[in-house]
Amino acid sequence: MPRPVWSGAVSFGLVSIPVKVLPATENHNISFHQYHLEDLGRVRYQKVCDLDGEVLNQDQIGKAYEVAKDTLVEITDEELDNIPLPTAKAIEVVGFVPSSSIDPVRIGTSYYLAADGPVAAKPYVLLRRALERSSKVAVAKFAWHGRERLGLLRILDDALVLHAMKWPDEIRSPDELAPRTVDLDDEEVDAAVSLMEEMTTDDGLEGYRDHYREALEELLAAKSGGRRPAAPQGGEEKQKETVVDLMSALQQSVRSARASRGEGDGEGEGDASVHDLGDHAQKKAARAKKTPAKKAAEKKTAAKKAPAKKTAARRSSA
């Protein structure tokens, strides 16, 4: 198990639950060192004072806030710890909301909450069962690393999970990002939904793997063992065919999705729905060709009727 990153209590009304906070995720990224190309010496980063050029240790470094140019206000760790916030020593539950009301874009790092000692077992299970019965999630506030944060408490299996969340004013508006007007009809949307159904799996996210990291590990193992890295399988990767027509792209995508699941290439009796989607492109093109001819016929008819109306008007005046 990972080491706790914080210990305190979850404050649930008058109920206090002593907890230890542990990271719920881990980083499997492969890190590289920077080195000097000429002699393979390590390139390191040092903290240097701007005034005297002295290299500093961590115990020689403090915190300060720049209130104006060249004007600093020094702040100590003790002063930060003594800020009068109810969330400074506890994860305070401030409300409950339906889980569907939380936009995933606001959710950040995740942590497990472990009951800290026998006294925490009963209130821990109490909060968990209450969340299960209500089908809601808890909104919490807590102060870590010099700032107050917004959090979300929910259940994963039998454990409580704390998700750090962004404050409302930290989320940028997407209003100006989406296209305003697009020529799109229901048949094209239905085709996209059909493709989504073909690509739907029952495994959720469990079947996905980081193939880049695996290939990088193989490369490093080969070079460290004095072996030549394996050549890419299948030679040069073929460039994907560019499909201009949206309906044709959807049709080909459905075939590829079926083939990837071992259901053939999508041709034959079972592919009626795909051909129906493909026929839409031909129908749309045919409608586009008919439209100019139809408008020309309407103009010609209107031109013939106009003189007849004027002649009738002259006769009536005579």
- Tokens standing for 40? 């393979």
C-alpha 198/C-alpha 175 separation (Å) is: 31
pLDDT at 309: 42
**Alpha-carbon distances of 241 from 146, 227, 235, rounded to whole Å:** 52, 36, 18
C-alpha 197/C-alpha 211 separation (Å) is: 25
Count of CA atoms in the C-beta half-sphere (13 A) of 183: 2
| CATH class, range 6-26+54-169 | mainly beta
What are the tens digits of pLDDT across the range 223-273? Answer: 888 888 887 765 445 555 555 677 888 888 888 888 877 776 545 444 445
Mean pLDDT calculated for residue range 142-171:
90
Task: Please tell me whether the overall predicted TM-score, pTM, comes out greater than 0.75 for this model.
Answer: no
User: How big, in percent rounded to 5, are the helix, strand and coil portions of the chain?
Assistant: 40, 25, 35
What are the tens digits of pLDDT across the range 87-141? Answer: 667 899 999 999 999 999 999 999 999 999 999 999 999 999 999 999 899 999 9
**Alpha-carbon distances of 248 from 58, 164, 245, rounded to whole Å:** 61, 43, 5
